[in-house]
């Protein structure tokens, strides 16, 4: 079983490592990957609002004209970075949750997402502004959230059979509501840095467990039994570490 304290992943680091491993690919592909990695690095430093083509090409070490061989403008490059973030989360998310108790699987996934969100908070800070420039990102985010909802619904049906059918609109709405709530909750902590929430959210495991309770109530209609309120951790996770 994967450790519950799974570290998050940092997109600029992943993209830089990927670009450095492309020596056997054609130059045009290597240059494109270098520009995507540079865009992610600049967005981390300046946010989307401060993203400029000049900064991207300087970070990538290429001429300005090279940028336009691959992207029409800064918003297209930023949009691809957001797609890379979604792909990274799919690739590195914890696996094997179907073999764990539901509460433990939910907690482990929440912890991974929270730690990754915290590591990439500057990148994600400009997502709303970017969506105004790239309306297609709204559809992309909806597709991603629909995908995650289907995964949750499939697991729910597997665990509980036809008593909670995935076709139930109320169940689907509850899951999408929790996804939206969790995204805004993390934005308040790691992007807006709301003081009262930041004080409460010093330990990512506590944040993960708070979200796990909400998820469990939305999916199963009850609180999880297996938890330790004094430590904010599932008992099973605490006893196995």
pLDDT (tens digit per residue) in 158-194: 777 655 555 678 878 888 999 999 999 999 999 999 9
Question: CB neighbours of 181 closer than 8 A, spacing ≥ 6?
Answer: 214
pLDDT of residue 5: 47
Over pLDDT 90: what percentage of the chain? 54
d(CA 30, CA 33): 5
Per-residue pLDDT band at 3 (split at 50, 70, 90): very low
pLDDT of residue 48: 93
d(CA 91, CA 42): 23
211 burial (CB, 10 Å; 0-12 / 13-18 / 19+) is buried
State whether 109 and 158 are in the same domain: yes
Write phi, then psi, for 233 (nearest 5 degrees).
-130, 150
Q: What is the pTM of this model?
A: 0.86
Of 42, 77, 112, the position where a domain reaches its end is: 77
What would the mean pLDDT of 16-27 be, rounded to a whole number?
A: 88
State whether 197 and 138 are in the same domain: yes
DSSP codes of every residue in 76-102: HHHHHHHHHHHHHHHHHS---GGGS-H
State whether 101 and 204 are in the same domain: yes
Q: Is 233 helix (H, G, I), strand (E, B) or coil?
A: strand
Using one digit for the tens of pLDDT, what is the confidence trace for 56-81?
A: 999 999 999 999 999 999 999 999 99
Using one digit for the tens of pLDDT, what is the confidence trace for 79-130?
A: 999 999 999 999 999 988 888 888 888 899 999 999 999 999 989 988 888 9
Of 77, 107, 134, the position where a domain reaches its end is: 77
Identify whether 1 is part of a domain: no
State whether 121 and 202 are in the same domain: yes
Distances 148 to 144, 158, 163 between C-alpha atoms, Å: 6, 15, 21
Of 77, 110, 131, the position where a domain reaches its end is: 77
d(CA 110, CA 192): 20
State whether 118 and 194 are in the same domain: yes
Question: Residue 105: which of 35, 155, 163 has the closest Cα?
Answer: 155
Identify whether 89 is part of a domain: no
Identify whether 5 is part of a domain: no
Give me the number of domains the chain comprises: 2
pLDDT of residue 2: 37
Q: Which domain holds residue 15?
A: 11-77
State whether 56 and 156 are in the same domain: no
Identify whether 59 is part of a domain: yes
State whether 64 and 98 are in the same domain: no
């Amino acid at each position: 079983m994967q450790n519950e304290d799974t570290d998050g992943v940092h997109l600029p680091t992943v993209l830089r490592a990927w670009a450095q491993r492309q020596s056997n690919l054609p130059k045009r592909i290597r240059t494109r990957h270098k520009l995507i990695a540079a865009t992610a690095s600049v967005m981390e430093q300046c946010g989307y609002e401060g993203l400029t083509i000049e900064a991207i090409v300087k970070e990538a070490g290429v001429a300005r004209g090279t940028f336009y061989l691959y992207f029409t403008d800064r918003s297209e490059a930023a949009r691809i970075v957001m797609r890379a973030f979604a792909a990274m989360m799919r690739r590195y998310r914890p696996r094997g949750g179907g073999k764990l108790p539901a509460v433990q699987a939910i907690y482990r996934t929440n912890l991974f997402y929270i730690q990754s969100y915290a590591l990439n908070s500057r990148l994600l800070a400009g997502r709303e502004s970017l969506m105004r420039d790239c309306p297609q990102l709204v559809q992309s985010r909806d597709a991603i959230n629909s995908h995650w909802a289907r995964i949750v619904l499939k697991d729910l049906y597997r665990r509980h059979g036809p008593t909670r059918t995935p076709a139930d609109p109320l169940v689907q709405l509850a899951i999408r509501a929790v996804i939206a709530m969790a995204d805004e909750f993390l934005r308040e902590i790691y992007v807006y840095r709301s003081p009262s929430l930041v004080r409460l959210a010093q330990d990512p495991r506590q944040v993960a467990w708070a979200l796990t309770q909400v998820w469990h109530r939305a999916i199963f209609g009850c609180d999880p039994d297996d938890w330790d309120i004094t430590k904010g951790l599932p008992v099973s996770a605490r006893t196995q570490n």
